[in-house]
Chain A
Amino acid sequence: MPSPGYWREIPNRYRLEAGRCRGCGKVVYPARRVCPACRGRAFDRTALSRTATVVTSTVVHVPPGDLLMEAPYAVAVVESPEGARFAMQIVDCDPACVVPGLQVNLEFRLIRREGREGILCYGYKGVPAPQGAEGRG
């Protein structure tokens, strides 16, 4: 993506910055101007925890062109402890183990490259939390 668009998203992509609606308390990620729950317009800045739970998932076998070498990869809709839901890849595991309820820790990764000479785009991916251990906050 062209760099101004990428740069604008850094707070939510690098630091999981979200907004907590002052009207109804809903945590909105990425932050928006208007709360989708109550249409409130005042928010407090907050950051999501670096753990989440898988809600639903799939394994992508036919990827977009720039992720060709990385397929097959698992993607999931996950939910953070703050109640925010968002999509991400789940990596460093057998894709078959990505099932609803799986606890993941969020690790900073290179999400995509703009070809050979464009910018590098970073963000978070989920990695299954070690068995029996609590996710790292």
Chain B
Amino acid sequence: MAGIVGYGAFIPRMRIRTDEIARQWHKDPGTIRRGLLLEEKSVPGFDEDTITISVAAGRAALDRSGVDPARVGALYIGSESHPYAVKPSGTVVAEALGIGPDVHVADFEFACKAGTEAMFVALCLVESGRVEYALAIGADTSQGAPDDALEYSASAGGAAYLFGRNDTLVDVLATHSVTTDTPDFWRREGAFYPRHGGRFTGEPAYFKHVLASTRALFAKSGLGPQDFRFAVFHMPNGKFPLEAGKTLGFRREQLEVGWIVPQMGNTYSGSSPTGLAAVLDVAEPGDRILLTSFGSGAGSDSFALQATERLVERRTRAPTVRGMLDGPHRYLTYGEYAKVREKIIVND
């Protein structure tokens, strides 16, 4: 049975508080914080991008797996902020990790679910026997437009999953995906900031797909909310994943560990994958974990997972999500944030 043989994550060390952004736009900080359930978010430096985050997360996944990178037969990076419009992120990441040249590489894109998309394909490739190991990474450094709701949440980070057949840390019990053409959030070629449909991003987009995919997974696997110890959903803000979880019948305790968005923000393709990594950092052998992502445009990927004995010993080989969230970090002023997110016009 194919499963996860290594996992890792990376969250940049700069942060900005919701309050700081709210004050910039003369909004009441308390109202914003309570409305979005966001306290702060991660901010990437000039020297950080989807590629550098993917290398850090990928390296952690390889360290935890103990697998020689030369044996990785496929590498997929899912992001909506690939550094090049044309030239893959995956080739740089592969060379940096010592993967290749006998490797299949592709970049994936599907708004916030490009990461789980990569995970699904990596899993299937290994299951088919076509490759021995496949590495899937979801990472982003997306922009939020000034004075827009998404400016409070768009953050940076990512997680990586190495799939293989033997010595799994986490088994994959079932998967399901749901996709429709729903224009809830998009960015045209050349545009600097994405656009979205406001409240249209809620019920007809996020909730429709997350609920449909998860319910179909329940039906397919014969598992219900009570059979899982943890559930992780895509986290565009603090509220949506809690509401989705509740609607699906999960209790707050099941959602708590993976619900890292109030501190991390929405790392887009890294969002639910990093939430999953936070869960794997503490899960015990036998624990079942539900993962459902959401990508605007729109679609959801669901996974039913189960931790094995091996997870406990292997996870000490790389940093934990909680360790990165609580570890050394620095808060920026809005001016520093605008500079580092290149919202300030400078000469060429």
Q: Do chains A and B touch in the complex (CB under 8 A)?
A: yes
Residues of A within 8 A of B (CB): 10, 14-15, 68-70, 89, 91-93, 107-111, 115-116, 120, 122, 125, 128, 130
Q: For chain B, what secondary structure do more than half of its interface residues adopt (helix, strand, loop), or is it mixed?
A: loop
The answer to whether B327 touches A130 (Cβ under 8 A) is yes
Q: Which residues of A contact B224 (CB under 8 A)?
A: none
**Any chain A CB within 8 A of the CB of B215?**
no
CA distance A122 to B336 in the complex (A): 23
Number of residue pairs spanning A and B whose beta carbons lie under 8 angstroms apart: 57
Given contacts A108-B55, A120-B51, could you give 15 more A-B pairs where the C-beta distance is less than 8 Å?
A: A14-B92, A14-B96, A15-B96, A68-B346, A89-B47, A91-B47, A92-B13, A92-B328, A92-B330, A108-B52, A109-B47, A110-B49, A110-B52, A111-B47, A130-B328
Among A14, A70, A128, chain B packs the most CB atoms within 10 A around the CB of: A14
The answer to whether B328 touches A116 (Cβ under 8 A) is no
- A125-B47 contact in complex given A107-B56, A116-B348, C-beta closer than 8 Å: yes
CA distance A68 to B348 in the complex (A): 11
The answer to whether A91 touches B45 (Cβ under 8 A) is yes
- A122-B348 contact in complex given A69-B46, A108-B56, C-beta closer than 8 Å: no
Listed A/B pairs (18) with beta-carbon separation below 8 Å:
A14-B96, A15-B95, A68-B346, A69-B46, A70-B46, A70-B47, A91-B45, A92-B13, A92-B14, A108-B56, A108-B96, A109-B47, A109-B48, A110-B83, A120-B83, A122-B52, A122-B92, A128-B328
Q: Which residues of A contact B346 (CB under 8 A)?
A: 68-69
Question: Number of B residues whose C-beta is below 8 Å from A?
Answer: 25
Q: Which residues of B contact A70 (CB under 8 A)?
A: 46-47
Q: In the assembled complex, how far is the CB of residue A77 from the closest CB belonging to chain B, in whole angstroms?
A: 19
Closest chain B residue to A117, Cβ basis: B348
**Any chain A CB within 8 A of the CB of B66?**
no
Query: Which residue in B47, B98, B340 is a CB contact (below 8 Å) of A110?
Result: B47
The list of the 7 closest CB pairs from A to B, nearest first, reads A109-B47, A108-B55, A14-B96, A110-B47, A92-B13, A14-B95, A70-B46
Q: Which residues of B contact A93 (CB under 8 A)?
A: 328
The answer to whether A110 touches B328 (Cβ under 8 A) is no
Q: In the assembled complex, how far is the CB of residue B61 from the closest CB belonging to chain A, in whole angstroms?
A: 14
CA distance A110 to B84 in the complex (A): 13
Q: Which positions 302-335 of chain B face chain A at CB distance < 8 Å?
A: 327-328, 330
**Any chain A CB within 8 A of the CB of B220?**
no
**Any chain A CB within 8 A of the CB of B187?**
no
The answer to whether B328 touches A107 (Cβ under 8 A) is no
**Any chain A CB within 8 A of the CB of B246?**
no
The answer to whether B51 touches A122 (Cβ under 8 A) is yes
**Any chain A CB within 8 A of the CB of B339?**
yes
